[in-house]
Each structure stands twice: as structure tokens, then as C-alpha cells.
């Protein structure tokens, strides 16, 4: 019977992951599959920091599992994707902390959803009680200053928590000094999501077991580029407001909308696709305890995008006030819970790729 990784504490989980990695390192059949295996072959013994680094390099494509001759019912009982997923999950909870808070949100989809309901309720109350006497577009319902006062700390404080976690990660894995070439190498991998393309670029085995598919890679790219477009839209709007005095609302053919509308569409498509793939994939090959939290986060991110598009579509109608509360409440929830949801994996994945670049150059 397979070991229940979800029940192990940090030390026991590290020991089990170490056992599996040492067997994989002796076999090396999967050497060309992704970034994990070349990194693994640099050494014969693995400290806890090495396990943390390998776990965050892993993209959970599951190709190694379906190619492995030592999985259940073999006595070695290897399930490397699940072992690394649990170590990875544990690392986020430890680094960003406080661990009990992180664990609650990472694992509990219902808590995430209730948080979003609470966030929307807060925005409904603010819009009802703090409606300005003047303003155009959204600012006719909630002033610009009120939005800044509410969302600036909700955005910056969680980012600070993530930054602290990344510093802790960098120290634990023993990464080297960063150079421009390291950043370029890591960002190139992120841009095309090379590790989700498998060893030969044919895709991964996430949702179709021993067959290859690039679906997960494409949906991840839709989410990533959609999010970046939306972030760029907000950044451009901020510059237009403060530097050029061009205040919202913005028309369809203005830079914020030309970036934000396609970005929102990509986010909706990408999150629907990722949720669909997760229902097709084998749960036992990931972090089983976090499955509900991961699905809830995908739903939250998709809802943020969809509600933003709906709000834009409702411009000029009586639906603007309730839609604004719903959308901003979802955005507020997303920002506040950012360090404690699957969103944090993007930061740690980039950090792992950066750390790996420094390790490759010094190996």
C-alpha cells in the first residue's frame, strides 16, 4: 500500500522525498525529462535545502511517473511527482507563513470562497456608505482616493510577505549570486514554459497519463500572459492618471482597455482550461491535501477576470454599482490571499529557475 504523503510532517516528508530521489538518481532513466533531473545528477546526497530546490523546480508534469518501472506495485513504490508536490507545498507554507494561516488557505477551498464573499460584502458596504458627490465612471461610486487607500496596502503588504518568503527560500537552497545571464536564462524558460513541454517538447502527461499533451502548457500560458496583460493595463492606467492627468473611464481603443480586455479573456479561457484538466488528472500524483484549495484559487482567479469583463460590459447601466462591488471584492480577496494561494507558486517557480541557473554556472 502506498504511503500517505499528506499525513507526514516536514521531517518525515523530507526523508521520504530523499529516499525516492536517491533511487531516481541511481536509475537516471528520466534524465532528459525536465529541469529536475539534470539538477538531481549534480550530487549523490541531498540536504533538506536540495529537496526544497528540486521540489520547486518540478512542474508536476508527471512524465517521470508514467515512465517509471519502480512505481506501485514495485517494492520501491515511487511516486516522485506527489513527493515533490508535498515538499513544494510544505515549503510555501513554511517560508511565507505564518504556517497555520498558509496551510488553512492552501488546503481549504471553502475558506477561500468564504473570504471572497466577505471581501465582496465589504465593498458593497463601502460603495453604499462612501459614495462620492462627484466623479465619472467607477469613481462615481467609489472615489479614486478611497480605492487607492484600500487597495495599495492590500497589494503591497502581501507582496512583502512573498518577498520575505523568497529570501528564506534563497537561503535554504544555497543559491549563488545572480547575474544578468541567469535572469535571461530563467525568464526564457518561463516565457515558453519549456518544462511543461517535456523532454522533447511533445508535452506532458498531466491529464492523459501515458500519452503526451500540450494542453496544460497552453492553458498555463493563457493564464500567465492574461495576468501580465491585466497588470500592464493597470500600470498604464496609473501612469496615465498620475503623469498625464488622463483619468478613467477609458474607451475601448485606449491602452488600458487594449491590454486589459484581451488579458481578461485569456485569463477566463486559461482558468477554465486548467480547472477542466485538474478534473481529468490523477489526484494521487499531486499534493492531495491541497487539491480543493487549488481548485478554489483557479475559480477565484477566473472570477476576477470574468467579473472585470462583465463590469466593463455593464458600463453606463444600473448594474455598474453591484458589479463594481462584486469585482473589487474579488480583487481584494485575490490580493489579500495572494501569499496563501497557489498564486505563490509563480514566484517560487521563477526563484527556483533563477537559483538553478546560478547552480549550473558554478557546478
pLDDT digit string, tens, across residues 239-272:
998 999 888 788 889 999 999 999 999 999 999 9
What is the arithmetic mean of pLDDT over 300-304? 93
Residue with cell 488557505: 105
What pLDDT, on a 0 to 100 scale, did the predictor assign at position 270? 97
Residue with cell 498604464: 236
Write down the domain spans for the chain: 5-92, 98-362
Helical H segments across 286-319, by residue range: 291-313
Cell of 12: 518525515
How many Å apart are CA 80 and CA 50, to the nearest integer? Answer: 15
Helix (H, G, I), strand (E, B) or coil at 249: coil
How many Å apart are CA 225 and CA 177, to the nearest integer? Answer: 28
pLDDT band at 274 (very low <50, low <70, confident <90, very high): very high
How many Å apart are CA 105 and CA 107, to the nearest integer? Answer: 5
pLDDT digit string, tens, across residues 37-53:
889 988 889 999 999 99
Beta bridge partners of 204: 213
What is the arithmetic mean of pLDDT over 223-232? 96
Percentage of the chain surpassing pLDDT 70? 97
pLDDT band at 363 (very low <50, low <70, confident <90, very high): low
Helix (H, G, I), strand (E, B) or coil at 78: coil
pLDDT digit string, tens, across residues 177-213:
888 999 998 898 888 888 887 666 678 888 888 788 8
Work out the number of other CB atoms within 10 angstroms of the CB of residue 208.
Answer: 17
User: Mean pLDDT, the chain, as a whole number?
Assistant: 88
pLDDT digit string, tens, across residues 312-349:
998 888 888 888 888 888 898 899 889 988 899 999 99
Contact yes or no for 329/114 (Cβ under 8 A): no
Dihedral angle of Cα 332, 336, 339, 341, to the nearest 10 degrees: -60
CA-to-CA separations, 22 to 7, 51, 85, 150, 358, in angstroms, rounded: 22, 11, 17, 49, 23
Triad 124, 157, 266: Cα angle to 5°: 65
Contact yes or no for 83/17 (Cβ under 8 A): yes
CA atoms within 13 A on the CB side of 363: 12
Contact yes or no for 166/348 (Cβ under 8 A): yes
pLDDT at residue 1 is higher than 50: no
What pLDDT, on a 0 to 100 scale, did the predictor assign at position 360? 81
What pLDDT, on a 0 to 100 scale, did the predictor assign at position 227? 96
What pLDDT, on a 0 to 100 scale, did the predictor assign at position 229? 97
What is the arithmetic mean of pLDDT over 277-288? 92
How many Å apart are CA 47 and CA 128, to the nearest integer? Answer: 55
pLDDT at residue 2 is higher than 70: no
- Give the DSSP per-residue string, 90-119: HHHHHHHS-HHHHHHHHH-HHHHHHHHHHH
pLDDT band at 276 (very low <50, low <70, confident <90, very high): very high
- pTM for this entry: 0.88
Cell of 32: 532528459
Cα of 103 vs its chain's centroid, Å: 15
What pLDDT, on a 0 to 100 scale, did the predictor assign at position 225? 96
CA-to-CA separations, 102 to 55, 247, 251, in angstroms, rounded: 18, 37, 40
What pLDDT, on a 0 to 100 scale, did the predictor assign at position 336? 86
What pLDDT, on a 0 to 100 scale, did the predictor assign at position 149? 84
What is the length of the chain?
A: 363
Phi-psi region of 134 (alpha: psi -120 to 50; beta: other; left: phi over 0): beta
pLDDT digit string, tens, across residues 106-134:
777 778 778 878 878 887 887 777 777 77
Contact yes or no for 123/333 (Cβ under 8 A): no
pLDDT at residue 217 is higher than 60: yes
- Give 247's DSSP letter: P
* Helix, strand, coil shares, percent, the chain, to 5: 70, 0, 30
Amino acid at each position: 500500500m502506498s504511503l500517505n504523503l499528506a499525513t507526514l510532517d516536514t521531517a518525515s516528508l523530507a526523508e521520504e522525498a530523499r529516499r525516492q530521489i536517491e533511487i531516481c538518481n541511481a536509475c537516471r532513466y528520466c534524465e532528459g525529462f525536465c529541469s529536475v533531473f539534470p539538477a538531481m545528477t549534480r550530487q549523490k546526497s541531498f540536504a533538506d535545502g536540495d529537496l526544497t530546490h528540486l521540489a520547486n523546480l518540478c512542474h508536476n508534469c508527471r512524465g517521470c511517473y508514467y515512465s517509471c518501472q519502480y512505481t506501485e506495485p514495485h517494492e520501491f513504490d515511487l511516486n516522485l511527482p506527489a513527493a515533490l508536490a508535498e515538499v513544494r507545498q510544505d515549503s510555501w507554507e513554511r517560508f511565507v507563513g505564518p504556517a497555520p494561516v498558509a496551510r488553512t488557505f492552501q488546503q481549504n477551498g471553502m475558506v477561500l470562497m468564504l473570504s471572497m464573499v466577505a471581501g465582496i460584502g465589504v465593498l458593497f458596504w463601502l460603495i453604499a456608505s462612501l459614495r462620492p458627490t462627484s466623479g465619472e465612471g467607477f469613481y462615481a461610486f467609489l472615489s479614486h482616493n478611497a480605492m487607492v487607500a484600500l487597495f495599495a496596502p492590500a497589494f503591497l503588504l502581501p507582496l512583502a510577505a512573498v518577498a520575505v518568503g523568497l529570501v528564506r527560500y534563497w537561503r535554504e537552497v544555497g543559491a549563488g549570486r545572480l547575474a544578468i545571464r541567469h535572469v535571461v536564462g530563467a525568464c526564457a524558460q518561463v516565457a515558453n514554459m519549456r518544462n511543461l513541454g517535456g523532454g522533447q517538447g511533445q508535452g506532458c502527461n498531466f491529464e492523459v497519463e501515458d500519452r503526451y499533451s500540450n494542453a496544460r502548457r497552453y492553458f498555463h500560458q493563457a493564464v500567465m500572459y492574461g495576468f501580465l496583460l491585466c497588470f500592464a493595463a493597470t500600470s498604464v492606467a496609473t501612469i496615465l492618471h498620475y503623469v498625464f492627468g488622463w483619468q478613467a473611464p477609458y474607451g475601448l481603443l485606449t491602452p488600458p482597455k487594449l491590454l486589459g480586455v484581451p488579458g481578461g479573456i485569456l485569463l477566463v479561457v486559461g482558468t477554465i482550461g486548467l480547472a477542466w484538466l485538474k478534473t481529468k488528472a490523477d489526484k494521487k500524483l499531486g499534493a492531495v491535501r491541497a487539491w480543493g484549495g487549488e481548485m478554489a484559487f483557479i475559480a477565484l482567479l477566473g472570477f476576477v477576470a470574468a467579473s472585470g469583463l462583465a463590469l466593463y460590459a455593464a458600463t453606463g447601466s444600473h448594474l455598474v454599482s453591484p458589479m463594481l462591488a462584486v469585482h473589487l471584492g474579488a480583487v481584494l480577496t485575490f490580493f489579500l490571499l495572494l501569499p496563501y494561494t497557489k498564486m505563490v507558486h509563480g514566484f517560487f517557480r521563477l526563484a527556483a529557475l533563477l537559483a538553478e541557473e546560478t547552480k549550473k554556472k558554478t557546478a
